[in-house]
Amino acid sequence: MAEGEEEVNYASVVFKVGNNPPPAAKRGEETVYGEVKVQNETKNKDSAGHRRFQHLACCLGIICVILLGGIIGVCVYFATLIQKSDPNQLKENSTLRAINTKLSLENANLTMDNKNLTNQLCNLTQAYHVSESNVTNLSAGVQELTTQNQQLETEKKNLKQQIENMTTNWNELNVSRAQWSIDSYCLGNTDKKCQPCQKGWGLTGLSCYAYNNPPHPGWKTWEEAREDCKGKNSDLAVAHDSEEKAAIKKESFGYNGYWIGLRVVNKKWEWVDGSNLTDSSWIPAPVDGHCAVFYNSRDTWSSVSCDDHKQWICQKKALSV
């Protein structure tokens, strides 16, 4: 029998009339009726439960359909909402990403700047310590220089005092020399008069000459001869003109040659008083390292090495009397 179809039983139904008890046969019929009635009631109960289950299943299906429709509607709504707001959201996201990139770059730059500033601070700190050390050293140096300056001031005062003392001594010496010169020019003369030249010096013209002609072991180089003349408050003889040249020759003797105050300076003949030789015919061309030698038997002078050893002539101004 197919589902949903009701089972139909056919039975005989006996109707009672009145209150008289039915006969036995009738009671049998009533029994059959009661059984059929009970059986039908049972079947009716099963059919009703089945129908209720069907109704419940149908309700649950409807509810599921409604829920599914609601879910689909909500999904469609949110999808539509997302679609409507998506362009703005993408634009905002793009802007936020650009801002984030910019901020990341600025952060990297700030980090690099901070690192550079930290390095500069370290360098400046090191330079400050070095400068502080230099200042300390300079302060010590200044203190040392101050001490040295004080010492130099003291030495300056001492030297100044020594110079004053030497000046006094020099003045006294000059007075003594002047007195000695006066004595040498004036004392011991038979006529008790001062002479224009000291003893041992010969007067020729306006000058006094000393001819130093020791034996050969006493001969000197040009420089040594000049130092000897300076020690006698004179210098090697000069001859600026023919008269002075003749004066030198007049009192000389011997044939060994005398140093005179003429030597080569910067490839020129120059006198000891700084003047140049005006008459170049008196001596050969200048040669570096050469000095002039006078021979009384010659009208010209010879040019020889200044390191040679010769006799020499000293000259100084005569005293006016």
Q: What angle do CA 130, 133, 135 make, to 5 degrees?
A: 110
Those residues with Cβ within 8 angstroms of residue 42's Cβ, 6 or more apart along the chain or in another chain: none
* CA proximity to 207, closest of 165, 186, 227, 236: 236
Average pLDDT, the chain: 79
pLDDT of 108 higher than 80: yes
String of DSSP letters for 264-319: EETTEEEETTSPBPS-GGGSPPP-TTEEEEE-TT-SS-EEEETTS-BEEEEEEEPP
Burial 101-135 (b: 16+ CB within 10 A, else e): eeeeeeeeeeeeeeeeeeeeeeeeeeeeeeeeeee
- If you search the block for the tokens 């002479």, which residue do you land on? 195
Alpha carbon distance 165, 281 (integer Å): 51
| pTM greater than 0.95 (yes/no) | no
pLDDT in tens, 122-133: 999 999 999 998
Residue 34 tokens, joined: 């009661």
Q: Which residues pair with 263 in a beta bridge?
A: 270, 291
Fold classification of 202-317 (topology level): Mannose-Binding Protein A; Chain A (3.10.100)
Average pLDDT over residues 210-226: 92
Helix (H, G, I), strand (E, B) or coil at 209: strand
pLDDT of 167 higher than 90: no
CB-neighbour burial class of residue 236 (10 A; exposed 0-12, middle 13-18, buried 19+): buried
pLDDT in tens, 11-44: 444 444 444 554 444 444 444 444 444 455 555 6
What is the reported pLDDT for 6?
45
Helix (H, G, I), strand (E, B) or coil at 144: helix
Alpha carbon distance 223, 263 (integer Å): 10
What are the residue ranges spanned by the domains of the chain?
202-317
- For residue 265, CA distances in Å to 69, 274, 317 come to 133, 10, 25
Confidence of residue 321 (pLDDT cuts 50, 70, 90): low
Q: Is the dihedral of CA 135, 136, 141, 147 positive or negative?
A: positive
Query: Residue 97: how many CB atoms within 10 A of its CB?
Result: 10
Query: Residue 228: how many CB atoms within 10 A of its CB?
Result: 17
pLDDT of 264 higher than 90: yes
pLDDT in tens, 296-305: 778 788 999 9
Those residues with Cβ within 8 angstroms of residue 290's Cβ, 6 or more apart along the chain or in another chain: 263, 264, 303, 304, 305, 306
